[in-house]
Structure 1
Amino acid sequence: MNKSTRRKFLSTAAALTAGTAATAMTLAPTSKKYGIAHQVYFWLKRAGSEEDRQELIKGIKTLKNIETVREIHIGIVANTEKRSVIDSSWAVSELLYFDNVEGQAVYQTHAIHQEFAKNYSHLWEKVVVYDSALI
């Protein structure tokens, strides 16, 4: 390889590397770091009922109005490949983030959370909760 071609190759490779790194940095998560993740999975009494699922989602959305909830994400079962390690028996999930355990405790006793349980618990037959301290 002559010097001109090699120099051009190296400068092109360096530019591509820098561009890739810059793109990766802009795609890096920018969300704030929270202390507690509260993951909840709901199984509907009437499994497969789209009406009940939408009603439950409507209720979960009210939880974002609790002042200690920093982020809320609502999900339904993804149509990914079926594997033995994947549990797709649930219907709706919620993922809430709190700054700390105290914020999560406020959520548990908050009037909006209590109203949610009172008004929507007739829709589910099972609820499983996973609380995580984020590291």
Structure 2
Amino acid sequence: MKEKSRRKFLQNAGLATLASISPLSTEPERTKELFIHHVYIYLKEPNNAQHEAKLLEGLHKLANVPTIQYVHIGKPAETSRSVIVRDYTFSWMCFFKNIIEEEIYQTHPIHLDFIKEYSDLWEKVIVYDSVGPKKVS
């Protein structure tokens, strides 16, 4: 999909999502569960310090999306157990109050600009989304 048409698709999807949400029609379960969006980004040139710095700059800009409650930008830890994956460049993890807030993030202009401005730097992105109770007893 061309970048321009992908961006238009994301914008339209966001508008459709927003149009479907109203205080009267919001499903209670969609507002109760904490939503975690965890992204692993693999640079095309993992040893290129300039590309790494540029992507890090973009991630710091992305952290300004207002629906994000907490964000963590990480690098692979110096751990070495057989179950640990360390081949990514950056880990981007952000917490949202609920899935609705995350859907707003997906179509927010800051997020769309991030994709447009920095996607040429990465070769692969893996996303793990999860939901769960806001408070565990």
TM-score in same-fold range (> 0.5): yes
* Residue identity opposite 2:49 in structure 1: E
After TM superposition, give the deviation of residue 83 of structure 1 in Å.
2.2
Q: Percent identity over the alignment? A: 41
After TM superposition, give the deviation of residue 97 of structure 1 in Å.
0.5
The residue aligned with 1:78 is 77
Work out the CA distance in 2 between the residues paired with 1:50 and 1:88: 18
Work out the CA distance in 2 between the residues paired with 1:64 and 1:83: 30
The residue aligned with 1:13 is none
Aligned residue-pair number: 101
Q: Secondary structure at the match of 1:65?
A: coil
Match of 1:120 among 106, 109, 118: 118
The residue aligned with 1:106 is 104
The residue aligned with 1:91 is 89
Q: Secondary structure at the match of 2:94?
A: strand
Q: Which structure 2 residues correspond to residues 48-67 of structure 1 after superposition, within 5 A? A: 48-67=47-66
Work out the CA distance in 1 between the residues paired with 2:84 and 2:50: 25
After TM superposition, give the deviation of residue 48 of structure 1 in Å.
1.8
The residue aligned with 2:131 is 133
After TM superposition, give the deviation of residue 65 of structure 1 in Å.
1.5
Q: Secondary structure at the match of 2:46?
A: coil
Please list every run of at least 4 consecutive aligned residues from structure 1 whose deviation after the TM superposition is greater than 6 angstroms.
none
* Residue identity opposite 2:113 in structure 1: E
TM-score after normalising by structure 1: 0.71
Work out the CA distance in 2 between the residues paired with 1:53 and 1:134: 32
Unaligned runs of 5+ residues in structure 1 are: 1-33
Unaligned runs of 5+ residues in structure 2 are: 1-32
The residue aligned with 1:26 is none
Q: Secondary structure at the match of 2:63?
A: helix
Say what the alpha-carbon RMSD is for the aligned residues.
1.2
* Residue identity opposite 1:109 in structure 2: T
* Residue identity opposite 2:46 in structure 1: A
After TM superposition, give the deviation of residue 50 of structure 1 in Å.
1.9
Work out the CA distance in 1 between the residues paired with 2:48 and 2:74: 15
